[in-house]
Structure 1
Amino acid sequence: MIPQRIVLIGGPGTGKTTLLNALKSMGYHCLEEVSRQVTLAAQQEGIEQLFLTEPLLFSDKLLESRIAQYFEAAKIKANFVFIDRGIPDVSAYMDFIGQNYPERFTKANTTYVYDRVFALPVWEEIYETDNERYESLEEAQKIQKELLNTYTSLGYDCVEVPKTSVENRVNFILQQLNP
């Protein structure tokens, strides 16, 4: 049995990682965001922000990692696997910055399909930047719009997760998955 692949999407700072950690603490299988790993690896090579300096190279590495996660999720023995960001996020970010990208990005979006998508809205009260998250709140809102456009254009029904406590967000998602 292949588990349902459940993707959590949203602009930077919307609480995806916090929500994923809460699900993980409840025993659910979760796959973390891989962009931080790509960014940290580049920083160890002396490139402070690979996405800003070489967006296509960064996005290629990200696409490769997200496709690997897609296959990793299929091997997990569970009903659900929660994934922090999906493959379409890569092209959404490239569209956000106005960067052209190879057809393989678009093909990956339609080849590797997720079962459900939950969108966490930009939430000013919880938004903060850090070493890997450099976007302003306004940029986060524009990224959010691009993400929703990308996923809906691919036929996904993006269920918006309410702005509420982590516990209530978890319960909302689980109720949607187990009606």
Structure 2
Amino acid sequence: MNTKKIVITGGPGTGKSSVLQELSLRGDTCFPEISRQVTLEAQKQGIAQLFLTDPLLFSKKLLESRRQQYAGAEKEKAGRVFIDRGVHDVLAYMDYAGTSYPPDFTEICKHCRYDVIFVLPPWEDIYVSDNERYENFQQAEVIHHFIKSTYIAYGYELVEVPIGPVSARVDFMLKYLETEKQW
């Protein structure tokens, strides 16, 4: 079976985790965001924000974990898997930070191809900073544009999910998937 790999992306604090949680409650297979895990592991080692301290090391760890998620999605028996951020998000954040990265980063992005990219736009009313999310809302908006640009540069057509209640956002996504000929 060719499992469809569906990315849910957007800047920080746009509701991706809430959407994935709702999809999971409805019975879909979902792979969660892993950057918080990488950040928390670094904090246990005394590094408050690994991305700010050593963006290349943080991004290498994140890219490898996301690549493993991609490989895991390919092995899933479900017809589709929703993934909170794809490998391309790593490059977008690196570009946002103005940090160069080795060629293998782009090779991984060329190799890992997703079927649909849903983008959640910045939404100030729900945006919250916390222990792992250090950006303010204006920075989140800029990151959002880097993310969109990165996916477009790799040939993706993005599907923007309207702002609204979580259930309505999920309904929009599922309706989109039902009406697409590729499904």
TM-score of the pair, normalised by structure 2: 0.97
Written as runs of structure 1 = structure 2, the 5 A alignment for 1:44-55 is 44-55=44-55
Return the alpha-carbon distance in structure 1 between the equivalents of residues 100 and 76 of structure 2.
34
> Could you tell me which residue of structure 2 aligns to residue 169 of structure 1?
169
Q: Distance in 2 between matches of 1:126 and 1:171?
A: 19
Aligned equivalent of 1:103? 103
Amino acid corresponding to residue 104 of structure 2 in structure 1? R
| Distance apart, 1:79 and its partner CA | 1.2
- Structure 1 unaligned segments of length 5 or more: list them: none
After superposition, what is the alpha-carbon deviation per residue over 1:88-129, rounded to whole angstroms, capped at 9, x for unaligned?
Answer: 000100000100100011111111100100000000111011
Shift of 1:72: 0.6
How many residues align? The count is 179
2:100 partner amino acid: N
In structure 2, what is the Cα distance between the partners aligned to 1:173 and 1:3?
A: 17
Q: Which structure 2 residues correspond to residues 46-125 of structure 1 after superposition, within 5 A?
A: 46-125=46-125
Q: What CA RMSD, in Å, does the superposition of the two structures yield over aligned residues?
A: 0.6
**Pairing 1:8-47 to 2, within 5 Å after superposition:** 8-47=8-47
The separation in 2 between residues aligned to 1:39 and 1:19, in whole angstroms, is 22
Deviations 1:136-175 (A, max 9, x none): 1000000000000000111101100000111110010001
* Structure 1 runs (4+) greater than 3 angstroms displaced: none
Q: Secondary structure at the match of 1:81?
A: strand
- Percentage of pairs with the same residue: 53
Question: SS in structure 1 opposite 2:125?
Answer: helix
Report the CA distance between 1:15 and its aligned residue. 0.2
Task: Tell me if 1:135 matches 2:135.
Answer: yes
